[in-house]
């Protein structure tokens, strides 16, 4: 039964890969709209996302880390652009950066390269990478394995050798109980695909976030319910801005 489901899934993916570019070309020519993300189309010029030499150079380099994601690089471009540009804003907070859910590290590699020209990494700022690299998929809902996630810690150690990176090889939120980040945090990217650990991470780290400070919940729109996150933020006079591409952004402007 499982094998049949797997074959069917792969067949659908295969068909999507064939038809996606054709549909995109048709929509662009006929209606002047293009695909910005899975299920999201726009007629906006999107110059920064598609043509900006700095972003494109960094994106083309970092997406190569993950061959599965690289196959969908055009539809993921907008999502990663949001990560990079919010990270650029987060410089203003003056604190450290944290990425929860790293896999092959497309987002942290992109953000690191994108911010390099600002000189931000020349200072003592840290970029914490939190993942157990055990290919866990939604561990809070029962242990499952996602083969496309990175299971090689060696790859990560080699890929992230710059002095700014600190790798915490543990799941969140446990990682933040065992390893205390002393500095303030200006940028928190949650991409573990696990609503419970992401909620608990926000709860644990929220006081440590600077003003201004930024949280990206990468799969916010994919969850059926975000009640825990929403009500926690409400008690802190804050809220998530859903931006229609599954990501939700929290901007902390006051304590």
Ligand X SMILES: C[S@@+](CC[C@H](N)C(=O)[O-])C[C@H]1O[C@@H](n2cnc3c(N)ncnc32)[C@H](O)[C@@H]1O
Residues contributing to the site for ligand X (CB under 6 A):
66, 100-107, 130-131, 134-136, 139, 149-150, 171-172, 191-194, 197
Element of type H or E holding 136: strand 136-137
- Compare residues 48 and 134 and give the one whose CB is closer to ligand X: 134
Residue with tokens 């993942």: 131
Nearer to ligand X, 136 or 185 (CB): 136
Asked if residue 41 lies in contact with residue 245, where contact means CB atoms within 8 angstroms, the answer is no
Long-range (24+ apart) CB contacts under 8 A made by 39-43 are 40/78, 40/244, 40/245
Distances (CA, A) of 56 to 22, 34, 49, 63, 78: 23, 17, 8, 10, 11
Q: Which is nearer to ligand X, 35 or 171 (CB)?
A: 171
Instruction: Give the residue with the Cβ less far from ligand X, 121 or 218.
Output: 218
Q: Which is nearer to ligand X, 37 or 149 (CB)?
A: 149
**Minimum separation from the CB atom of position 214 to ligand X (A):** 15
CA 48 → CA 6, 32, 61, distances in Å?
38, 17, 17
Tokens describing residue 2: 């499982």
Nearer to ligand X among residue 197 and residue 210 (C-beta): 197
Q: How far is the CB of 190 from ligand X (least distance, A)?
A: 9
CA distance 174 to 45: 43
Helix (H) / strand (E) containing 100? strand 96-100
Residue 201 beta carbon to ligand X: minimum distance, rounded to whole angstroms: 8
Tell me the residue nearest to ligand X as measured from the CB: 101
53-62 helix and 73-90 helix, angle to the nearest 10 degrees:
110
CB of 77 to ligand X, least distance (A): 13
Q: Least separation, in Å, of the C-beta of 101 and ligand X?
A: 3
Q: Minimal distance in Å, beta carbon 209 to ligand X?
A: 18
Phi and psi for 186 in degrees, rounded to 5? -105, -20
């Amino acid at each position: 039964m499982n094998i049949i489901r797997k074959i069917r899934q792969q067949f659908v993916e295969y068909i999507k890969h064939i038809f996606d570019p054709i549909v995109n070309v048709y929509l662009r020519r006929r209606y002047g709209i293009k695909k910005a993300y899975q299920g999201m189309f726009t007629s906006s010029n999107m110059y920064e996302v598609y043509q900006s030499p700095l972003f494109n150079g960094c994106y083309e380099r970092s997406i190569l880390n993950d061959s599965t994601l690289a196959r969908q690089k055009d539809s993921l471009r907008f999502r990663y652009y949001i990560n990079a540009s919010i990270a650029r804003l987060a410089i203003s907070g003056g604190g450290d950066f944290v990425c929860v859910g790293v896999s092959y590290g497309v987002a942290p590699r992109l953000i690191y390269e994108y911010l390099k020209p600002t000189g931000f990494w020349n200072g003592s700022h840290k970029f914490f990478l939190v993942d157990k690299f055990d290919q866990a998929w939604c561990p809070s809902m029962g242990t499952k394995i996602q083969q496309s996630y990175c299971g090689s810690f060696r790859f990560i150690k080699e890929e992230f050798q710059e002095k700014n990176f600190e790798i915490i090889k543990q799941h969140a939120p446990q990682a933040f109980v065992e390893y205390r980040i002393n500095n303030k945090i200006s940028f928190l990217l949650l991409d573990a695909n696990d609503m419970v650990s992401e909620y608990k991470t926000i709860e644990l780290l929220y006081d440590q976030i600077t003003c201004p400070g930024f949280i990206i919940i990468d799969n916010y729109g994919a969850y059926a319910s975000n009640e825990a996150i929403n009500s926690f933020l409400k008690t802190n006079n804050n809220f998530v801005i859903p931006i229609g591409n599954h990501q939700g952004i929290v901007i902390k402007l006051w304590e």
